[in-house]
Structure 1
Amino acid sequence: MSRQLLPVLLLLLLRASCPWGQEQGARSPSEEPPEEEIPKEDGILVLSRHTLGLALREHPALLVEFYAPWCGHCQALAPEYSKAAAVLAAESTVVTLAKVDGPAQRELAEEFGVTEYPTLKFFRNGNRTHPEEYTGPRDAEGIAEWLRRRVGPSAMRLEDEAAAQALIGGRDLVVIGFFQDALDITFGLTDRPRLFEQFGLTKDTVVLFKKFDEGRADFPVDEELGLDVGDLSRFLVTHSMRLVTEFNSQTSAKIFAARILNHLLLFVNQTLAAHRELLAGFGEAAPRFRGQVLFVVVDVAADNEHVLQYFGLKAEAAPTLRLVNLETTKKYAPVDGGPVTAASITAFCHAVLNGQVKPYLLSQEIPPGWDQRPVKTLVGKNFEQVAFDETKNVFVKFYAPWCTHCKEMAPAWEALAEKYQDHEDIIIAELDATANELEAFVVHGFPTLKYFPAGPGRKVIEYKSTRDLETFSKFLDNGGVLPMEEPPEEPAAPFPEPPANSTMESKEEL
């Protein structure tokens, strides 16, 4: 095998501990001198704007959780985070866990682009400018394992079958490079003919071993073209996922990090035997769509109401299928609504992928008296008619019922509507974007404010300034333009799980 392939494999597969190409030791001029003591709670460093730099200098590997005290997800993560810290300390692993109160330390949250809670970032060797986003599980062992892979030995050389089997048996996912011309480097590789024979190989191959589904997946190295980084990356991402994954708080991050854009969801009630029997057919259909469609099971009897809301479903609709493309956010439902079998699932996936099924848009029914209050109520079915009325200037708030920021600005929005209710050419309206979808555009965060000026051309102006009555009024009085644009008072966070008691509303998880 060409020696040029090995550095590529190391970089891609083994995430070597040296952060190549990263600026070292970046410091903030506002940091306190190093003798300042950093407080701890339950084995976790409690950081502030003044002590983050000190922590980065003292700890070469630092995982930082940005949390909000009233965030339900943060509260659920807290005991697991502390357990992970204890596990790593007992192992003498050279990594430290820390946390930052995001709302109290707003400057730090803004510096690192934190838009939802909890957010975890991993810092290496004092590098403040390029932390790695944590994408692992939210349980103690998952956190510890994610960190071990980044700070432990990159890999090991395998000399015999016993060493290979020990490596495979020690983890749920193991990647071994089988190379006939191996260099003496520190990662899982072998050039032993006996091992090639033992694992049924005749050429250079990267093998992914796993303790689920088919047990292993092979990526042969092209003898002429060598190792293609993009192809290998896609192979590892695709084959490290289970063919069928159940959606829950532990798997959601991995599901959305899989880089597979099409997700097929089977909604079942796992307390019912008849529903559980459908899982076999679901799994039977999955292999032929590996890499194209991620198969996910959603238990409607579990805490997954937010997923049902995102698809406009009630628990009584189970068993049923829905397919969503994460890039376009378009949703698809089976046309016939027949039984859920391997054959019907296969046919449905093929129909969607071949463009034979039209996506559906969620819409509530137009409520009686929708235009009688100062704030008009829009839904998917009347949005186009109202927003793009060429005789009206329409200012719309797109909100989520559970969004804290939306609730906080509601009084100002009501006051604005009352102020302009006698202006025949101005309409102040609102639309629940969790229950209504629009063909014209996708709403990515809450609250989102858009102004639709009168006249032809279906013009849309996004409002991004302060959310108070005075600024709203200036915006309207100037025809959708402010004399001096100000930064938004609160960021509209990305979108669909409503985080319990979180300060920032996120659509990141289904």
Structure 2
Amino acid sequence: MDRQLLPVLLLLLLGASGLQGQGQGPERPSEDLLEDAPGEEVPQEDGILVLNHRTLGLALREHPALLVEFYAPWCGHCKALAPEYIKAAALLAAESATVMLAKVDGPAEPELTEEFGVTEYPTLKFFRDGNRTHPEEYTGPREAKGIAEWLKRRVGSSATRLEDEEGARALMDAGDVVVIGFFQDKDVATFLALARDALDVTFGFTDRPQLFQKFGLSKDTVVLFKKVSWPELRARAEGQVQQPGEFSSHLGAVLGSRVGPGSQAATPQTSRRIFSAKILNHLLLFVNQTLASHRELLAGFREAAPPLRGQVLFVVVDVAANNDHVLRYFGLKAEEAPTLRLVNIETTKKYAPTGGGPISSASVAAFCQTVLSGELKPYFLSQEVPPDWDQRPVKTLVGKNFEQVAFDETKNVFVKFYAPWCSHCREMAPAWEALAEKYRNHEDIIIAELDATANELEAFAVPGFPTLKYFPAGQDRKIMEYKGSRDLESFSKFLDSGGELPAEEPTGHGAAAGFTQ
């Protein structure tokens, strides 16, 4: 070959090689080339890494745990997530968590969206240990605390290892719903996997024999402790949605369940169904937590709980806090603490211990057993009879005068059972007053009302408000429930017909029905 042609051929070969590299090279730079880039840094905005196709590999090498948001600048959901994402990054940084948040402008990085199968915005993917090929799809909450908690349960333990009773009590006091796994023979891996996604629950686990003994357990199990809000308890008892307000409880339901091979991982939706298991008997300890002598009673109260697991929900009510509504429901005053009350939320029957001995583990257990066995009779709330109860057209009934008035053999008594806070009761009040005024001169008819939140009846429970019942004259103690329209004309026709509405009367609520109790 002519020596003069050799440089030309070499140049042509080099040129061809360069053109081939420009037109048919890899879609993104190889990680080897990125590693060789001197002084390479990934930019940040508000503590969040800003990535592109060139810097993603570098970020994966530098951060063993990385959550990446693929967003679009025009996406409304992305804009809503942005401030929470920034807060989550700050929370993780404040706790020195070994996880970093990042974001990628999806429309500007089509190579990355194609590589990771991004079809909608925002899409979040979690990368572990630099693994680029199998990221985990983020399925957690879209608010800061939830994002941070989801990530912490993946980079750390999803449950707290408990070594002693003090640690168990601290964990139980820390959350509204706390689940503790007691495992001596079983692998805890399934339990920890379940705990990763149930973010609304605090988890702990132990293998300590002294904790098994303390909670009355003899074999591996999972125990749940749930704090109860007063509106939830009262709404379940009365079938109504009540006014807001909560109280603190330090013990919860103890529900046994198993976690083993094949258990389905819990989601926030399934965990709520699991943790709403119905325990009808609720035992409340009323104490003043500012007093040391009252706080000392909590230990005995807690000790009584394990043997009654699944039967009784244990609750502590602090009378020094804003819990007047709880006291009123049980007919108590703050100065009566410490004391116990038990309520069955299905029958609404309430029970008080007899005697006046000290509150201890033994006395709490004995009180519960007398209620569960049917040996103890319930008590019923009643206001005092007002001196002028019969002076107005609408007569005022309370628990103490109800039997005498409602079952008077010579009277037809029409009673409204109401709640002071009930809007439906307030709406029908003018019609009820007009009815009483219309029949005030009828000696055999009494129009009355009873505040069913402050007075309870042994004869029957009041399921909702307003409830209207008619007690016709006679010796058979007949009770008829009115379910017609709540207006003066319908009320009048009902009374004039002796407790029945004409068949053609359109009531909108169904015809009045009579039944005997």
* Percent of aligned pairs with the same amino acid: 63
Q: Sort the Cα spacing of 1:173 and 1:372 in 2 relative to 1 into closer, same or farther, 3 A.
A: closer
Would the alpha carbon gap of residues 434 and 146 (structure 1) be closer, same or farther in structure 2, given more than 3 Å must change?
farther
Letter in 2 for 1:371: D
Give 1:249's aligned residue. Answer: 246
Contact 1:409/1:467, CA 8 A, preserved across alignment: yes
Instruction: Report what 2:472 is aligned to.
Output: 453
What letter corresponds to residue 453 of structure 1 in structure 2?
P
- 1:340 equivalent to 2:337? Answer no
Counterpart residue number, 2:455: 436
3-state DSSP class of the match of 2:317? strand
Q: What do residues 118-137 of structure 1 show as CA deviations (whole Å, max 9, x unaligned)?
A: xxxxxxxxxxxxxxxxxxxx
Match of 1:269 in 2: 288
Deviation for aligned residue 1:205: 11
Amino acid at match of 2:350: K
Whole-angstrom CA distance in 2 between matches of 1:85 and 1:482: 62
Residue 313 (structure 2) aligned to one of 294, 299, 302: 294
In the TM superposition, residue 169 of structure 1 has moved relative to its aligned partner by: 5.0
**Per-residue deviation at 1:164?**
11
1:487 — aligned with what?
A: 508
Shift, 1:319, TM fit: 1.0
State the Cα distance separating 1:461 from its structure 2 match: 2.0
Counterpart among 329, 341, 344 of residue 348 in structure 2:
329
After superposition, the C-alpha distances for 1:459-490 in whole angstroms (9 at most, x for unaligned) are 2222223322222212212222223242259x
The answer to whether residue 155 in structure 2 is matched with residue 168 in structure 1 is no
- Aligned equivalents of 1:297, 1:251: Cα separation in 2: 7
Alpha-carbon distance between aligned partners in 2 of 1:395 and 1:84, rounded to the nearest angstrom: 57
Correspondence for 1:389 among 396, 408, 414: 408
Q: 1:353 to 1:88 in 2, by over 3 A?
A: farther
Aligned to 2:441: 422
Partner of 2:125: none
Which is further off, 328-337 or 360-369? 360-369
Please tell me whether residue 240 in structure 1 is matched to residue 237 in structure 2: no
Give the Cα–Cα distance (whole angstroms) in 1 for the partners of residues 427 and 385 of structure 2: 25
Aligned to 2:395: 376
Q: How many residues align?
A: 307
SS of corresponding position for 1:350:
helix
Distance 1:84 1:470 in 2: 56
Q: Distance in 1 between matches of 2:381 and 2:486?
A: 28
The equivalences for 1:58-77 within 5 A come to none
Whole-angstrom distance in 2 between the partners of 1:146 and 1:322? 37
CA contact (8 A) 1:175 1:206 kept: no
Return the offset for 1:202.
6.0
By how many angstroms is 1:323 displaced?
0.5
- Cα distance change, pair 245–413 in 1 and its aligned pair in 2 (3 A): closer
**How far off is 1:275 after superposition?**
1.7
Q: Is the 8 A contact 2:247 2:318 kept in 1?
A: no
Give a deviation string over 1:187-210, Cα, whole Å, max 9, x none: xxxxxxxxxxx9532699985978
**Equivalents in 1 of 2:501, 2:383: separation in Å?**
33
CA–CA separation in structure 2 for the residues paired with 1:333 and 1:423: 42
Show structure 2 runs of 5+ residues with no match.
1-79, 89-139, 162-174, 196-200, 209-220, 231-244, 254-274, 511-517
Q: Flag the 1:488–1:306 CA change in 2: closer, same or farther, 3 A.
A: farther
Contact 1:467 / 1:488 at 8 angstroms: preserved in 2? no
If the length of structure 1 is used for normalisation, what is the TM-score?
0.51
- Residues 1:174 and 1:371: Cα distance change in structure 2 (over 3 Å): closer
Pick the aligned partner of 1:200 from 175, 184, 190.
184
Structure 1 unaligned regions, length at least 5: 1-82, 92-140, 153-161, 177-197, 218-234, 490-510
Report the structure number with the largest CA radius of gyration. Answer: 2
Deviations 1:88-122 (A, max 9, x none): 9988xxxxxxxxxxxxxxxxxxxxxxxxxxxxxxx
Change (3 A) 1:354 1:212: farther
Q: Where do residues 47-86 of structure 1 align in structure 2 (5 Å cutoff)?
A: none
Task: After TM superposition, give the deviation of residue 404 of structure 1 in Å.
Answer: 2.8
Task: Identify if the C-alpha distance between structure 1 residues 336 and 174 changes in structure 2 by more than 3 Å, giving closer, same or farther.
Answer: closer
Distance of aligned partners of 1:297 and 1:459 in 2 relative to their CA distance in 1, 3 Å threshold:
same
Does the aligned pair in 2 maintain the 1:175–1:207 contact within 8 Å? no
